Amino acid sequence: MGSALAVSLDPSQNVKNGDGVSVTIAYNTTEKCSAIGWLDKEQTAGKKFPFLFSQCQPIYARSLAPLQDTPSVKITYSTNVRSTLPALCSALRVSPPSESIHDGKRIGEEVVEYKYNQPIAIPSYLIALASGNLVYKPFDPLPGKSWKTGCWAEPETIDATYWEFHKDTAHYVELAETLVTPYEFGVYDVLVLPPSFPYGGMENACLTFLTPTLLAGDRSLVDVVAHEASHSWFGNNVTTADSGHFWLNEGFTTYLERILQGELHGSAEREFSYIIGRKALTDALKGYEKKPKYQRLVIPYTFGEDPDDAYSSVPYEKGSNFLLYLERQLGGLQVMLPYLKDYVNTFRGQSIRTDQWQKHLFKYFSQNGGKEKVDTLNKIDFEAWLHGEGLELPAAVEYDTTLAQKAYDLVKAWSDSRSTPPSDLKFSESDLKDFSSNQIVVFLETLQSLSPPLPGSHLQYMSKAYPSFNTTGNAEIRSRWYGLVLESEDTDVASEFAEQAAKWVVGTEKGSTGLKGRMKFCRPGFKSIHKVNGDLAIKYFEANKQYFHPIAAKLISKDLGLSK
């Protein structure tokens, strides 16, 4: 997926083997550049200026610049960007400073040159650019730390962005470097993008991109930042050598993210995150029953195969569950944390594959545990974990259900009420008054797994008893609610909610917070709507396709059967 760039050397220059050669390449992108999302001003929060942002992972940097677009090759880069709108890159800013990013010029009218330098070699998928009406707000510096943190957003959302992330961001980075190795990138800023950004977050070096769906107003979704910050060690530092071993990036990152949650909020919170993630893993594994190789941790891609076709929760959740299983078999966190530190120190700045990880794992524990630990590792079915297919994990992984119990109890109350006429049901919004957002998520996910499912009449009653499910700005809750009602066996109930869900996804409902361009929400949303009413799903997608990022639009089109 790409072609060679051949550079002919001038014979008259008498260049010899070993000589240094400087080559300048002139190039430009086209309207087919899949790495770039171009937004009209109407698609932004302020609706005053257009916006641009890149997304190079997994294989789109090749559409942005002529380079070796593989994570097995790491590069440093510097860039001068000339723009009438502030421009941010995944690098250290040389000039102008963050606090005067407009450089005294009239925004949208006068050109400013923005200079950046990334001195640490990174994979090409971490090259990033964003430009729009952006402002900066620094987070409070931590004593004794040389690195800085802050946030970027449009002026209309900067205060909400600052409130949501200022409390925890620096502490995630500080705790991670305490547990693993020092943070190396100098700056850790977050940028909240317009709604068409297709991911929850993207760990671009020095500048994490975030979806506006995280601005829940209660800091309930900020652990996405814990995940993206953890990539500073797993992905940005120790990197998968190719997409077939993507779990080395995401499994390790999710594992560290949840360790951070446990350190900051208690071990029950860490285990609770695994409970939430398990439903996403089950759904992803079921979704690949016709392509079972995508159920594996190590995926044997064929030549020309698009790694985006395998993008799912599998490398995140199956990978982190594998590491949690290893942790428990080897003796707990007190054993695994020193191992993580040695792993990063051993492979710092390198791109590796799973066999290299496995050899290091055995070598480390043979030197730091001896025969007992090696015997333990030899009893683990690595083949099943790494190359196995199917809907179940190769070994049972149990979780502390302390924080989930309230949700389970309420599910049981609903399940026990199946034979009760809706007119006699006694549920009300007060049932949820002591629930956190994540506990509501577990409640809805557990309802989805009931067999047999709740009657459609009960779901209609639930819609009235818990009206916030239809109006909440928390996309994690709303997406689960629509997933529940649209999968109802009562086709009348499913049809009743189909158009409401479509309007929520494309951002046209009254009081909408905007398009749900994050693929975690738009892809399952359109899939569920399509099962209920295929014509409706296609109508809403076709009418709004131009507002989605090219990556999301391509995959939704496949999901709806509009392309192969």
- Whether residue 250 is annotated as binding a ligand: the answer is yes
Identify the bridge partners of residue 190 per DSSP, sorted by sequence position.
151, 208
d(CA 277, CA 26): 45
d(CA 100, CA 119): 23
- Whether residue 520 is annotated as binding a ligand: the answer is yes
Q: Which of 129, 142, 284 is nearest to 191 (CA)?
A: 129
Q: Which of 336, 369, 310, 389 is nearest to 555 (CA)?
A: 310
CA 331 to chain CA centroid, nearest Å: 30
Give the DSSP H/E element, type plus range, for residue 54.
strand 51-54
Q: Which of 390, 174, 411 is nearest to 293 (CA)?
A: 390
- Whether residue 108 is annotated as binding a ligand: the answer is no
Strand pairing report for 351-352 and 239-240: parallel
Q: Which of 562, 495, 560, 559 is nearest to 532 (CA)?
A: 495
Residues 6+ apart with CB under 8 A from 257: 223, 226, 227, 230, 273
CA torsion sign for 342, 312, 33, 521 is negative
CA 398 to chain CA centroid, nearest Å: 24
Q: Give backbone dihedrals phi and psi of 227, rounded to 5 degrees, phi first.
A: -65, -50
DSSP H helices, 135-213, are: 158-165, 169-179
Q: 153: helix, coil or strand?
A: strand
The two tokens of residue 117 are: 């330098």
Give the DSSP H/E element, type plus range, for residue 493.
helix 491-506
Q: Which of 216, 215, 223 is nearest to 191 (CA)?
A: 215
- Whether residue 106 is annotated as binding a ligand: the answer is no
**For 382-414, what is the HEC assignment?**
HHHHHHCCCCCCCCCCCCCCCCCHHHHHHHHHH
- Whether residue 462 is annotated as binding a ligand: the answer is no
Residue that is written with structure tokens 């649209």 in the block:
486
- Whether residue 77 is annotated as binding a ligand: the answer is no
- Whether residue 549 is annotated as binding a ligand: the answer is no
**For 213, what's the count of Cα atoms within 13 Å in the CB-facing half-sphere?**
28
Sheet containing strand 207-210, edge to edge, reads 135-138, 148-153, 187-192, 207-210, 201-202
Pick the catalytic residue: 114, 154, 172, 228?
228
Pick the catalytic residue: 114, 311, 316, 466?
316
The two tokens of residue 425 are: 């049901």
- Whether residue 57 is annotated as binding a ligand: the answer is yes
Q: How many CB atoms lie within 10 A of CB 557?
A: 18
Q: What is the radius of gyration, based on Cα positions, of the chain?
A: 24
257 labelled catalytic: no
Residue that is written with structure tokens 């609706």 in the block:
47
- Whether residue 480 is annotated as binding a ligand: the answer is no
228 labelled catalytic: yes
Asked if residues 307 and 298 have their Cβ atoms less than 8 Å apart, the reply is no
- Whether residue 202 is annotated as binding a ligand: the answer is yes
- Whether residue 198 is annotated as binding a ligand: the answer is yes
Identify the bridge partners of residue 238 per DSSP, sorted by sequence position.
234
Please state the residue numbers annotated as binding site for Zn(2+).
227, 231, 250
Write out the catalytic residue numbers.
228, 316
Please state the residue numbers annotated as binding site.
55-57, 198-203, 227, 231, 250, 518-520
Please state the residue numbers annotated as binding site for a peptide.
55-57, 198-203, 518-520
